[in-house]
Amino acid sequence: MKDTLSLTWENRFASRADHMKSSAIRELLKLAELPDFISFAGGFPAPEFFPAKEIAATIDGICDSQSLQYGPTEGYRPLRELWAQRLGRKVEEVLITTGSQQALDLLGKVLVEPGSTVLVENPTYLAALQAWRVYGAKFHGTELDQDGLQVDKLPDQGQFLYTIPTFQNPSGATLSLERRHALIEWSERNQMPIIEDDPYGALRFDGEALPRLVDLDPHVVHLSTYSKTLAPSLRVGVLVGPAQLICKLVQAKQATDLHTSTLNQRIAFELDSNGYIEKHVQDLRRVYKERRDAMVAAVRKHFPPHTKMIVPQGGMFLWVTMDPDFNSVACLERCVAHKVAYVPGNNFHPYGVDLHTMRLNFSNTQPEMIEEGIRRIAEEL
């Protein structure tokens, strides 16, 4: 075909597109497909444990006209009812989203005014920062430690607080019970909304379960997902929050994707309501604990003796802190040449400082390969 039009797109992008950058992790994941590459970079579940047969059998039973037709923006009602019952709420307070990532984006669309400050943990989930930057958010990061967010260091102003209190991504830290109560008090004192993102809560393999923030205070906006307990490709997430907020989010979601795939919502509903997920998660907990143990042991064996780590009681990530003069970005380049990858800690900080930490994912690699991967990194340290 004759090329008569020479269009350049760059000068047509809206100014908000300036805030869109591809994530360092996604670029790295491309390399992880090379043979013999050991990637601790992505936040991937163990692929050997995807319940492919159960999902296929479920589809067989539900692939009817209801599953294939357009559905309500709020989500598949039985799935909303299941979550309403689970959290002791009304069905109007439950919205099904296309993964939790969509919930983060919709919250940004509805709540973030350009220039407003979102309070986050430092470090925090990279793709939440990415989602809200597009809407012009500024960030205030508050440090966390082994017991999660340092609540006493939180400021008293901001648009809302975003927290991942249980097996945090990236640090693996879990907010202690005492700090959970203190956080709710802080929120009441400052009239500050809390968004609790909880993709990993079901994946506890050590210690006692703690109440979710939403269990302590119904004003908390709670996000959950089937990505880590069933399969991320289904893209089914759940947002529980005040009906007034849900109404606005539904309007935002209508313009985004009309609704989340009904077929996928029904798969999640069937396998959740019949108790399958509860059993399946027990297998995941056992396997992830083995992998966590293998990684912690390998780091102790191969990394320098003063290396610090937060040993997570669940979830998928190990957060490692090296000497202050260590440069995890430069080290990653050497590691990639030796077919191993992690994510340098600076990616999880709103303003990119902190070069001496790294996030290592353990759920996606078998224990023998975990030891080998950690050994390869140690050689490059």
Ligand X SMILES: Cc1ncc(COP(=O)(O)O)c(C=O)c1O
Smallest gap from residue 127 Cβ to ligand X (A)? 6
Choose among 80, 82, 63: nearest CA to 72: 80
Smallest gap from residue 203 Cβ to ligand X (A)? 11
Greatest Cα pair distance in the chain: 69
Q: Which one, 260 or 262, has the nearer CB to ligand X? A: 260
Smallest gap from residue 209 Cβ to ligand X (A)? 18
Q: Which one, 236 or 374, has the nearer CB to ligand X? A: 236
Alpha-carbon span 22 to 39, nearest angstrom: 19
Alpha-carbon span 373 to 375, nearest angstrom: 5
DSSP string, 303-341: S-TT-EEE--SBSSEEEEE--TT--HHHHHHHHHHTTEE
Q: Which one, 235 or 331, has the nearer CB to ligand X? A: 235
CB neighbour list of residue 246: distance below 8 Å, 6 or more residues apart? 74, 92, 93, 94, 95, 239
Smallest gap from residue 225 Cβ to ligand X (A)? 3
Q: Which one, 74 or 197, has the nearer CB to ligand X? A: 197
Contacts with ligand X, residue ranges (CB under 6 A): 43, 99-101, 125, 164, 169, 197, 199, 225, 227, 232, 237
Smallest gap from residue 100 Cβ to ligand X (A)? 4
Smallest gap from residue 320 Cβ to ligand X (A)? 18
Q: Is 106 exposed, middle or buried (0-12, 13-18, 19+ CB in 10 A)?
A: buried
Q: Which one, 226 or 303, has the nearer CB to ligand X? A: 226
Three-state DSSP class for 200? coil
Neighbours of 41 (CB within 10 A): 28
Q: Which one, 86 or 90, has the nearer CB to ligand X? A: 86
Q: Which one, 266 or 331, has the nearer CB to ligand X? A: 266
Smallest gap from residue 240 Cβ to ligand X (A)? 14
Smallest gap from residue 125 Cβ to ligand X (A)? 4
> Hey, which residues does 308 pair with through a beta bridge?
321
DSSP H or E stretch at residue 219: none
Q: Which one, 187 or 229, has the nearer CB to ligand X? A: 229
Alpha-carbon span 58 to 54, nearest angstrom: 6
Joined together, the tokens standing for residue 357 give 């930490």
Smallest gap from residue 196 Cβ to ligand X (A)? 10
CA dihedral 53, 56, 61, 62 (to 10 degrees): 140
Alpha-carbon span 284 to 124, nearest angstrom: 24
Q: Which one, 58 or 227, has the nearer CB to ligand X? A: 227
Alpha-carbon span 47 to 134, nearest angstrom: 32
Task: Find the residue with minimal CB distance to ligand X.
Answer: 99
